[in-house]
A and B are shown apart, each in its own frame.
Chain A
Amino acid sequence: MKAPRFSYARPDTIAEAIALLTRFGEDARVLAGGQSLVPMLNLRIAAPSILVDINQISALNGLTVEAEKVHVGALTRHAHIESSTDVSKYLPLLALAMPHIAHPAIRTRGTFGGSCALADPAAEIPACSVALDATFVLAGPNGERRVPAQDFFQGALTTALKSDELLTGVEFPKSKPGYAAAFGELTRRKGDYAIVGVAAHGFISQARLSDLRIVIFGASDRPVRARHLESELEGKEASSECIRRAATALDADVEPRDDLHATGETRRYLTRTLASRVLSDLMKVGVS
């Protein structure tokens, strides 16, 4: 089907975009890469009367590497992040995740901010930002506010963003020496959203794991930290056997439900299996 009728504005600045969002409130929607919003319009799942196209706002685009952190502008395209040497150096977890997002032609247009603002429970970028303890920068009519990743994602397709706010960027602490990252997901077909996925980041010294952050996505209404599993492995010398045993702790971390793609029970099993694989990879990366 075709998109319903709407009016379109193309602001050049963040201030102009916020002014439009403030004026039109719930009737307006931000248009970033359009790789989720346009399908929703074409399928008539969404029918906003105003689209505020932010693609011309150059202040929202690109990566900035600072002393302690990396700032990712909301409009930075998936393809740009995928090929960035700064990302592979300072945010290796994100670099591992990017090729799993959709397909090349979709990564040309899809944006970092769009993926976060959409908050699909099975999406890769939200999971990585929770695992890396990122901070979201939101701009509205009364100025800017900062929200930790953990609080930004509030449920399926639900975030801390208000209708008059724009996500301007996401800040990540740079990965420090001794830390390793691993990522994996299960999909029916290459490029699909994950049935379940695991993002892991932690410090490895003498084959012992610490400061672990493991995030499960696709199994709940938002990316969740596997705190039980993390504490089970904290300070341990993590052999494959130890990891496999610890993975049963995941049953206390996620309670997958049935849906079109898999039953809750299948997902629970897949989550354990995948987490074991990803954590074994993490140990390998950390040791090499």
Chain B
Amino acid sequence: MIEPKEVFDISLTVNGERLTRRVQVRTNLADFLRHDLELTGTHVGCEHGVCGACTVTLNGKIVRSCLMFAVQADNCEVQTIEGLSRSGVIKDLQDAFVQHNGVQCGFCTPGMLAAAHALLQQGPLPSRERIRDFLSGNYCRCTGYQAIVDSVQAAANQRARSSMP
């Protein structure tokens, strides 16, 4: 029979880099990214899935990194805000957030960008209602959301314009 363990060796890819690490099974993915890998762009607000600040991409889909244990990311591919930024895929979204005041304190921003990026990958030109709906799981205590929705919409419009022949 399989013996339950408190420590596990895991291998995973984080922002394109293959890693092997030993983890305590009770360490959540957010803490693993922040403390073990020093990728502090992933923020931790509530630790129970409500605020969305810890949103990262796992095998191409957004997840709450506070609601997974690092051991569960074994053999997976994780993208954090550091990876998304470095690769340039969200440069236009980031610029739009700056231009439209979608960032104030910045605490929610990494999660907002990860979620907004996932939304824009699902199809071009989402309506404001669709943007609000999709970002409903990401809390912002500063902006009042209006500016964030503006930012995402501006980036979507820009992408649609530049993809026109």
Which residue of chain B has its CB nearest to the CB of A28? B4
Contact B71 A8, beta carbon cutoff 8 Å: yes
> Contacts A39-B67, A104-B62, A105-B62 known; A2 to B49 CB distance under 8 Å?
no
Q: Which residues of chain B from 12 to 34 have any CB-CB distance to chain A below 8 Å in the complex? A: 25-26, 28, 31
Interface residue total, chain B, C-beta cutoff 8 A: 36
> Contacts A7-B4, A103-B136 known; A109 to B26 CB distance under 8 Å?
no
Contact A7 B25, beta carbon cutoff 8 Å: yes
SS class of chain A's interface: helix, strand, loop or mixed?
mixed
Contact with B along A5-25 (1 / 0, CB 8 A): 111111100001001100110
The verdict on A138 contacting chain B, using a C-beta distance below 8 Å, is no
Could you tell me the distance between the alpha carbons of A190 and B129 in the complex, rounded to whole angstroms?
11
Contact A108 B48, beta carbon cutoff 8 Å: no
Contact with A along B69-111 (1 / 0, CB 8 A): 1011000000000000000000000000000000000000000
Contact A38 B49, beta carbon cutoff 8 Å: yes
Contacts of B55 in A (CB 8 A): 105
Contacts of A20 in B (CB 8 A): 1-2, 4
Could you tell me the distance between the alpha carbons of A23 and B2 in the complex, rounded to whole angstroms?
11
Contacts of A103 in B (CB 8 A): 52, 136-138
Q: Which residues of chain A from 184 to 235 have any CB-CB distance to chain B below 8 Å in the complex? A: 189-191
Contact A50 B68, beta carbon cutoff 8 Å: no
The verdict on A166 contacting chain B, using a C-beta distance below 8 Å, is no
The verdict on B115 contacting chain A, using a C-beta distance below 8 Å, is yes
Contact A106 B137, beta carbon cutoff 8 Å: yes
Contacts of A8 in B (CB 8 A): 4-6, 8, 25, 69, 71
Task: List the 5 closest pairs (A to B, CB-CB), nearest first.
Answer: A103-B137, A7-B4, A39-B48, A8-B25, A190-B136
Q: Which residues of B contact A (CB under 8 A)?
A: 1-6, 8, 25-26, 28, 31, 47-49, 52, 55, 58, 61-64, 66-69, 71-72, 115, 118-119, 132-134, 136-138
A sample of 15 inter-chain contacts (CB < 8 A) reads A3-B69, A7-B25, A8-B25, A9-B3, A9-B4, A24-B4, A38-B48, A39-B47, A42-B28, A42-B47, A50-B4, A51-B25, A103-B136, A105-B137, A189-B136
